[in-house]
Amino acid sequence: MKKFQKLLWTTAVVMMAMLGACVTINIYFPAEKVESVAGDIVNDIRGQQPSKKDNQSKSHEGLSIQIRFALGAASAWAEDVTTVSNPTIRALKEKMKARFQELKAYYQKGALNEGGNGYLSAADTGRLNLKEKRDLNGLVDAENRDRKTLYAEVAKALKIKSDQIDRIAEIFAKEWQKPVR
């Protein structure tokens, strides 16, 4: 009887362990989509064209899609769309484009710093007069408010939970940190 109870308990523990191993929580974060969207949005705001390398990779991507289409069963690729736009995002981009023209001079003076968190901060303001410092602080505050809203809208458009907005901001930070031309 004691052997039977031991065998029963062992079996129960093994079964519980197997059941626990079958339960997985899949938290999907579409980093590649966010990277693509971030690059497009930042380039649009800064009035920059994608680099030749980006164009070449897109042509290879197009060839890859054609091959997959020819060889494989058709599938719903609409999910892979990486352009994100809604009225709020479009309005934010227009405001940020206009503001970028004002910020550009401060970038060139070294008075701005793109943080790794996706937000802008004043850096070396020693060479600025009082009015320029005040203007810069106002521009930085407005830019950061718009960026925060932009990140939230991108999350909403890509159906990403709001607790992941900081990750979106960090991905955007990599694009913002690229040199201003």
Sign of the Cα pseudo-torsion (59, 61, 64, 68, in order): negative
pLDDT digits (tens, 9 = 90+) for 71-85: 444 433 344 445 788
Share above pLDDT 90 across residues of the chain, in percent, rounded to a whole number = 54
Cα–Cα distance, 11 to 9 (Å, whole number): 5
pLDDT digits (tens, 9 = 90+) for 3-62: 878 877 888 777 777 766 665 555 678 889 999 999 999 999 998 776 544 444 444 555
- Identify the residue with better confidence: 128 or 141: 141
pLDDT digits (tens, 9 = 90+) for 140-151: 999 999 999 999
Q: What is the pTM of this model?
A: 0.69
Locate the domains of the chain by residue range. Answer: 31-48+83-176
Strand 120-122 and strand 112-114: pairing?
Answer: antiparallel
What's the pLDDT score for residue 150? Answer: 96
Tokens of 41: 């949005």
What's the pLDDT score for residue 27? Answer: 65
